[in-house]
């Protein structure tokens, strides 16, 4: 039975990854986001089960010990992870899955699912990234400085990904990512798996 594609989208904080993923899902209902678990507190407007599965450190640790995560990472002192059931349930429905996760998680997913397609979203520049982080007004100055320092390392990691998209113009970046998704759907094994002989 054919299963859905796995797309991993990573980016430095503030590069526009979440907005792009939201727009992709609105554009194509055959694409769904795998909702991650996290121990961080919800931001204003975030809803449990929609944006993340917000959980305690104790609950997350218990699931980790039971090997329930395909990938997990510690980011800015908080735990994040993708539950194995989130991926398997969607794939069995032949839905294309987007995992919106960090670079550490992307590498873990690629080891378990070599067919996963890794897409890295880049800001136009680190100067523009700083402007975006300060404009969105969700972090204090120390956190912004930490995010910018981490972003430099993350940009260098883009070479480990299959594709890189620069989010200078939102609509252009959205179309570029959507083109990657369409290319994967048109690969011969995928097309022949549903072809009527």
In the chain, what are the domain boundaries? 6-193
pLDDT of 148 strictly over 70: yes
**Paired tokens of 165:** 């998209």
Q: What is the pLDDT confidence band of residue 2, given thresholds at 50, 70 and 90?
A: low
Mean pLDDT of the chain: 91
Instruction: Please write the tens of the pLDDT for every residue from 120-140.
Output: 999 999 888 888 888 887 788
- Give pTM, 2 decimals: 0.83
CA triplet 171, 172, 178: central angle to 5 degrees? 90
**Better-predicted residue by pLDDT, 77 or 193:** 77
Q: Which residue has the tokens 């956190």?
A: 143
pLDDT for 192 equals 83
The domain defined by 6-193 folds into Rossmann fold (3.40.50)
């Amino acid at each position: 039975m054919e299963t859905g594609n796995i797309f991993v989208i990573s980016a430095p904080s503030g590069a526009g990854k979440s907005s792009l993923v939201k727009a992709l899902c609105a554009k194509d209902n055959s694409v769904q986001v795998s909702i991650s678990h996290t121990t961080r507190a919800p931001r204003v407007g975030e809803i449990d089960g929609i944006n993340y599965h917000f959980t305690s450190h104790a609950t997350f640790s218990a699931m980790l010990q039971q090997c329930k995560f395909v990938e997990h990472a510690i980011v800015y002192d908080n735990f994040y992870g993708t539950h194995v059931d989130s991926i398997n349930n969607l794939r069995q429905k032949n839905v294309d899955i987007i995992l919106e996760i960090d670079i550490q998680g992307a590498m873990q997913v690629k080891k378990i699912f070599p067919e996963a397609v890794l897409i890295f979203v880049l800001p136009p520049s680190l100067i523009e990234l700083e402007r975006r982080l300060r404009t969105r007004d969700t972090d204090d100055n120390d956190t912004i400085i930490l995010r910018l320092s981490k972003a430099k390392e993350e940009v260098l990691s883009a070479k480990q990904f299959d594709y890189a998209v620069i989010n200078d113009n939102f609509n252009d970046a959205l179309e570029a990512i959507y083109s990657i998704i369409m290319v994967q759907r048109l690969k011969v094994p995928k097309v022949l798996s549903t072809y009527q002989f």
